[in-house]
Structure 1
Amino acid sequence: MNTIQSEDLAIHKLLNDYYIVPNYQREYVWQQEQVNRLLEDIMEAKGEFPKIDEGDYFIGSIVVCESKNKNESSVLEVIDGQQRLTTIIVILCALRDRIREINPAGDTSGINNYVMNSSIDFTGNAVEKMKLLLQYEESDGILDKLGKREDVSTIVSHSKSVINIINAYTYTKEYLAQNYGDDEKSVREFFGYLVNKVKVIRVQTMSVAQALKIFETINDRGVGLNSMDLLKNLMFMHVRPEEFSKLKVKWKEIVQELEERKEKPLRFLRYFIMGNYGVEEITEERIYEWFLNNEHKCNYKSDSFGFVELLKQNVKAYGQYVSGKNPDGTNNRYLDNLRYFSGAARQHLILLLAARKLPNDLLEKLAWQIENLFFCYTITREPTKTFEKKFAKWATDLLLVKDEQGLDEFIKKYIVDEKNKKKDNFVYHLSMLNQTSIQQYRIRYILAKISQSLDEKAWGSTSYYNSLATYINKDVELEHILPQNPSADVKVAFDKGEEYQDYVKKLGNLTLLEKSINSSISNGAYDHKRNEYEKSSFMITKAISSIPQVGVNTKINRAGIGLRTYDEWNSISIEDRQKLLVELSLKAWDMETTTAATSTSS
């Protein structure tokens, strides 16, 4: 007897059988885009059917196996293709209900027989049974409710699956109304084409293991799911069926963490591999292949749950890092700083995943250095792929670091060495920096970091000055000392009027200023503005007009050493202040030293 059967089935034959989606499967995730594409494809293939029959239309394959549940002996478990099969059932429900809306007296029993059917139980009573049963808890019995024509407007659920299925049902009815109006005949012809001419290939096996292997083979050829889904399948292949529920719970926790953080699963997997195994280059398309070829490193066969636990720990740390926190959820000011600067970039997480077991004090020290180097790479326009490879290469050594001595050696060997190589380039690019050469949010970060560095030295390390949120918020604005929209007098007074807009955009012409102060100076002349700058709580802005002095040799006085004031604001002043900001940047991002820093104070 063949253990694998493959059949080319029209929908009406496919739905002669009953199906279940096991509880370890992922939930229904199709959005309007996927549903619309299926409807449009069917509509296009249908053409003028039944007047003109242009042949069958193939929509893909499903992989099933015989259910081992004694109470479900005539039911097939869906291993692959549940998104498509669920959508077909939803479309049938929408067709049935759209016809009833057009013609309340119309007979829809023929359609309903493909959605659910009556059978006689052992007590001799008729029971209705859905053609497709979703066993995962997120489904909340939604298909059964649609099958029984329950009003979807009364269904309240926070489950993404339920919401997606209701949206698919509602959209399909709207699609039918838009394309066929109240023409019952046309809607029925669409139904006739769907069940008679739309086909799938159903691959049926004797066991779940066989079905999973076929699922893997189909998807490994570039059809269907991504590496995250295939990896999940790989885990299920190597645990016993009675452990499926336990594995599903753990996998769900991994996926939920990424979803809640709105992080891309495949990017996480790339950085997981690079940060934990030192792989210097891997594309998203090769992730699954890498796992298949490196079981000896991952042990997902010999210790599947141990491997999943490692993934879970990494994804938890990953999520905390992108939120600016340590793996245990405590604050880390330098990780928080990175959020203001990195944008969508995540390459620094390669090193942080390798360091996730370090104590918080050492992790903070490392994060300080990573922030400095990551900023240096960005300013000097180091190619992303170049430093991504470096981080992956360094990760193998970082994984071995257990104490402060080891961390200092790592920082000196890699990070300090890189900063020394980049210092001259760093200075050059900052000296040329203007608003058009870098994103606006990064300009704010640069000014915030310089301001924070000065204020912390002057006023002490407090929670207020430790956080960049003090400098980057709705009450702090980016001030152009030479106004963007000047009055005629201001523009005429500028010594290089023909280059006015070029100087407006220079870093040296920018500072941070409290909104309450900024609103009072508008686009006025420098003589008026400078008096208002002195009212700012930010030393970098105060110092434009007057450098604060308190007592003799105080922290405030020492912090002001090297700052320069300006009696007038012209091209020379802007160029000089740009040089000053470069000098301050070398201190703020620890680019002056040639040995590993031993303190995280900036």
Structure 2
Amino acid sequence: MDVRETTLQELLGGPKQYLVPLYQRPYAWQGRQRDRLWSDILELAETRRSNPGTTHFMGSLVLSTGAIVPTGMEFLVVDGQQRLTTLSILLCALRDYLRIHQKDQPMLAESIHEQYIADRFKPGDGRLKLLPTQADRDAFRAVVDGAVGADSTSGVGQAYSFFRRALELADDPEDPHDIERIREAVLGGLSFVSITARDEDNVYRIFESLNNTGLRLTQGDLVRNYLFMRLSSRGESVYSSWWLPMQQRLSTEDLELIFWLDAVADEPLLKQGDIYSYQQSRLAKMDDEQILAEIERFSRLSEQLAVIREPSLEPEPGLRKHLQRLAEWGSTTTVPLTLRLLARRAAGTSSADEVTGALAAIESYIVRRTLGGRPGQGLNRTILQACAVIDDGPVDQVLLDYFSTGRKYFATDAQIRESIRTQPFYLRGLRTQQKLILKWVQESLNPKEPVDVDKSTIEHILPQTLTPEWRTALERELGDDESVDEVHEQLVHQLGNLTLTGYNSELSNRSFESKQTDYLNSSYSALNRRVLEASSWGREQILERDEWFADRIIEQWSGPNERIEPDTPGRDWSLVHQAIMAIPAGRWSSYGDVAALIGTHPVPLGNHLSSVPVAGAHRVLQGGGTISPGFRWLDADDDRDPRVVLEEEGLLFAPNGVADEAARISTAGLAELIGLVAEGLEGTDTTDRTFLGQLSSANPPSIVHGVTALFDAWEDLGGSVEFGSNREISAFMTSPRRVGAEKSYWPFTVYPISGNVEVVFQYLRDRPPFDEVELREAFRARLNAVEGVSLPASRIDKRPSFPIEVFREPAAREQIVDALQWFIDQLPGEASAQESAA
């Protein structure tokens, strides 16, 4: 047995090939795993700028030596094939990105291909550094060879498309070395423990041992233990005076979180799993008196965190209002900075008025940035780094100046007006945050009409689906060379066309006069006043209401310091690039659909695409579904017929050259593809991205990790996770579908906000063999053996629940996975091939 630490560069370099055995399940990573990996890689690349030796541990690879052939050594991948496959796909995406964007240095791309992807001197599949299981080989070969269908709808194709878009977004035009840092981080910074053995049985015993972990102390436990170890005999009195009140004041999660919030203000890249090592290193330099002072400081910080969690505890009205709004906004990123500000107020180094002004500056910045349509990337770091500047003067002025300098996208009044007039507000950001902006505008005009966001939905006045009546109304306003569909796409998602209602599904696409009647009886009179005064509803009225909204927003949320010259970049085309690259093979979108995504028009978009290389640009057609007569490949030597290319990808054309309308992706569909709307479009299917957004906003990182780890284990058993469509997005853990089984089964439903895991005995009682109460009792007993789970016998025909916190502990997760395996073993029918592989 050979056990050693290694890197991807070392693993894939040289004459080696990694074979995924045919009994392994196909490639199965989904969005949440790819997002997590990419986030880790970006953090690693950034950290390695100042600490080049930093690595990120990717876990173990369990390998078995295969044949020694003339062309090198073969290894069977027993555990780790999902990670190895994903990283190989990422290398292909990186190679292709470099081929397009760094043509002056072709060896950068080719060195990745020939050293880590494929050996051009070997024939057939023997050239591939990684050979996936048979089900994935066609898709993987297409990615390796850059062939038609590389960005297919298969799991491999989706991963490739994701990384191509991610690289586009990560490439800062002003930083010539950022992609190179990512390449170095992937190849040299991701570390593995490689466990290789010749005896395959031994390999599986190692694999089982690695996946059996015991109950571990939390990071908060470790910090507490260290602090009181240092205090020795004085520990008891300090515990009673300072620690116990803090422990009673905060939840277990917040008690751990406070050590991270304190640290991340100084170390923005610090992960929650590194709390103890960071705090221990800092505390080790202190004497006993300083340790005592630290415990007192942590206890006082806990008082401020309690106020952040429950703003009603704050006596100052102005301060309380901004704390409440930041809490409603739901961004955990603002908490470290808010904690520092409240601590300054408590210590007397900043006045209540200054802190109120500072919180108002934070609120204005995030609201204006959202309305300005800027991408969320970089926002977290900008706010965390603000912690380092608040000691430089009056905190309200210091923060306003800080947000106003550099490229932080603090939208000016003119930019707010332009964005509201042109940007599709409904297709940007979290749906709850969109509703909050509408709510706060309403309440600023009429505080006596409070808005219940939970019971409200966003209503399109001009409907998303045009009826003949609405289409006729728009036709009256058309200019030369305009179509109803193009104008509708430009207007429908603008802020001026949106309002709040409690009965969205009832209004739908009814006539304007019918909607006015309902708005008249609505509790949102201030928000709807201009709608009620209008005799009709079209472009003129929407643009006028855009201006009305701009006035209210500029008045309510102050802009940047006008004395500071902002660093104003040109038009941001990154969203367009992402959207085009996300169009899968066999689908198309129009210039108008894509242009509406950033509030521009088809002509400037066409001009941009004629000069900038964007993968998939040939899938953007004219509004009628025809190829633009002016379309040219950027490579002057490329003489392919674009229609032939599109047909090879699976897109159907009518004899008159019009693409299949059913394969068209609208602006809203593009926004969904690239995750622009984080809570899903109302009226469409909801994705796991929505669930994870709610899970992350309502729970500490340790629980988020626990839930995602359980989902991963469930998928390893052959199951899947499906998602509901209510306001709180539930996750259904659906069992593998057995051959010959007539019904579907799911043991759990997970609720991310309320924090409950529902055991659905009520549904199981109608599904053999769980219609036998003895079998449900056996399942209940297995679950009740897990610490923190207590399902009463009286609820054996109901839907009892246990807290989501149970998933946080590895030992508890292991017991639950065992119970789920037992559950699957009871299912009727024959196991499918996928389940058998799992």
TM category (shorter chain) comes to 0.3 to 0.5
Larger radius of gyration: 1
Give the TM-score normalised by the residue count of structure 1: 0.47
